[in-house]
Amino acid sequence: MAKRIIWTSGADAIFTKILEFYNHRNQSKTYSRKLNKEIHQILNTVAEYPLLGIKTNVKGVRVVIKKQYKVFYEAKPNKIIVHLVWDTRQDPDKLKF
């Protein structure tokens, strides 16, 4: 049974900034819509197979990698908590969750 997907406020804010960046840079929402769809497809797969991601050094947190994006999540009994969607081309010193 698929688990419910819950976004932390920080994860939602960072992912929204990523989408807005591409809207502004490309002067179009086409890429942002495609990226949004791909990330949600990944999360739907994780909801079905919560152990799919690679373990991280943070207890209980796993990561799924899609191109230059990393999706950090935590699998709970009835839900998947999205902690961060990270564009790996960003400064890694900003990586906190």
Task: Name the residue among 33, 60, 62, 31 with its Cα closest to residue 45.
Answer: 62
Cβ neighbours around 19 below 10 Å, total = 18
- Rounded Cα distance between 84 and 78, Å, is 19
Q: Which domain holds residue 40?
A: 4-87
Residue 89 pLDDT greater than 90, yes or no:
no
**Residues 5-40: pLDDT tens digits?**
999 999 999 999 999 999 999 999 999 999 999 999
94 is a domain residue: no
95 is a domain residue: no
Residue 53 pLDDT greater than 80, yes or no:
yes
Confidence at residue 70, expressed as pLDDT on a 0 to 100 scale:
95
Which tokens in the block code for residue 69? 């994006």
Confidence at residue 1, expressed as pLDDT on a 0 to 100 scale:
63
Q: What is the CATH number of the domain that holds 34?
A: 3.30.2310.20
- Nearest 5°: phi and psi at 52? -60, -40
Total domains, the chain: 1
96 is a domain residue: no
Residue 41 pLDDT greater than 70, yes or no:
yes
Which tokens in the block code for residue 14? 């960072």
- Rounded Cα distance between 41 and 9, Å, is 20
93 is a domain residue: no
